[in-house]
Amino acid sequence: MHPFTNITAVAAPLDLANIDTDKIIPARFLRRLREPGYEKLAFHDIRYDADGKDRPDFVLNQAPYKSAKILVAGANFGCGSSREAAVYVMWDYGIRSVIAPSFGDIHYGNELQNGMLPVVLPDATCQKLRQQLREKPGAQITVDLETQTVTGPDGATYRFEIDVNHKERLLKGLDDIGLVMQNIKEIEAFEKKHHEEMPWLA
């Protein structure tokens, strides 16, 4: 997994709350294999019109935001379906961090699993950042995991909280399987006891 340390990049404001994972990648695309061109599926139905042309009102279609690597969204980002493809399409587009007041639980975990950093900041802060990004298209934001700070387009800094284990894994780019298998002795001992107590599960 790619380690995440820090990023300074163009950020795009996504002003909708409750962006569900069906918006990030519609279900009919889930059978696509993750191949070159996959990033075209990101936000598909709000990004393109019926003829497949870019919708001018969608932020990532607007020139200064096209190269965004950071998104600032509204509450409950990534709610709904567990589809990890929602992370894949954003990653392949180039997104490396999403800042929002809250996330759907499963999607939050999926971002972490792929080296993408979900940052939780208060709603008022996210609104302020989105406004600043609208006023200065192409403005950059810095997200620093080590110091747990976000630096806005005006230089103001904001601290975010993140679970210490999640932070360590992201900084080091650790794959959970390797971590788990370090505990194989405990795992096998547990399973033996568990199945002795409940043999019908063996």
Partner 1 sequence: MPQTLFEKIWNRHVIVQRGENEALLHVDRNFVHEGSFHAFKALALDGRKVRKPRQTFATADHYVPTRNREQGLAAVTDPEMLHMLDLFEKNAKANGIENYFGLEHPQQGIVHVVGPELGITQPGLIITCGDSHTSTHGAFGAYAVGIGASQLKQILATQCLWQKQPKTLRVTVDGTAPAGVTAKDIVLAIIAKIGTAGGTGHAIEFAGEAIRALTMEGRLTVCNMAIEAGARSGMIAPDDKTYAYLAGREFTPRGLMWDKALLFWQSLPTDAGARFDREVTLDAATLAPMITWGTSPEEAISITAAIPDPATASDADKRSHMEQALRYMDLAPGTPVDGLKIHRAFIGTCTNGRIEDLRAAAAVLKGRKSVVPAWVSPGSSTIKRQAEAEGLDKIFIAAGFDWRASGCSSCAAMNGDSVPARERCASTSNRNFEGRQGKGARTHLMSPAMVAAAAVTGKLTDVRKLMGI
3-state helix, strand, coil in the chain (%, to 5): 40, 20, 40
Site for partner 1 in 26-45 (CB under 8 A): 26-28, 30-32, 34, 45
- Which residues lie closer than 8 Å to 15 by C-beta, 6 or more apart? 59, 74, 130
Number of residues that bind partner 1 (CB under 8 A): 57
CB of 193 to partner 1, least distance (A): 10
CB of 22 to partner 1, least distance (A): 4
Site for partner 1 in 111-150 (CB under 8 A): 113-114, 123
Residue from 7, 9, 22, 128 in contact with partner 1 (CB under 8 A): 22
Contact status, residue 148 vs residue 160, Cβ threshold 8 Å: yes
Token pair for residue 115? 């080296």
CB of 185 to partner 1, least distance (A): 10
**Which one of the spans 6-14, 53-61, 149-157, 193-201 is the region binding partner 1 (CB under 8 A)?**
193-201
Residue from 2, 172, 192, 194 in contact with partner 1 (CB under 8 A): 194
Contact status, residue 68 vs residue 9, Cβ threshold 8 Å: yes
Residue 159 binds to partner 1 (criterion: CB under 8 A):
no
Site for partner 1 in 74-113 (CB under 8 A): 74-76, 79-85, 87-88, 102, 104-107, 109-110, 113
Contact status, residue 111 vs residue 50, Cβ threshold 8 Å: no
CB of 186 to partner 1, least distance (A): 5
What are the two backbone dihedrals, phi and then psi, of residue 27, each rounded to the nearest 5 degrees? -55, -30
Q: Specify the DSSP class assigned to residue 53.
A: P
Contact status, residue 122 vs residue 112, Cβ threshold 8 Å: no
Instruction: Please report how the helices 85-93 and 105-113 are oriented relative to each other, as an axis angle in degrees rounded to 10.
Output: 50
Q: Specify the DSSP class assigned to residue 61.
A: G
Chain residues binding partner 1 by CB under 8 A are 15-18, 20, 22-23, 26-28, 30-32, 34, 45, 74-76, 79-85, 87-88, 102, 104-107, 109-110, 113-114, 123, 163-165, 176-177, 179-181, 183, 186-187, 190-191, 194, 197-202
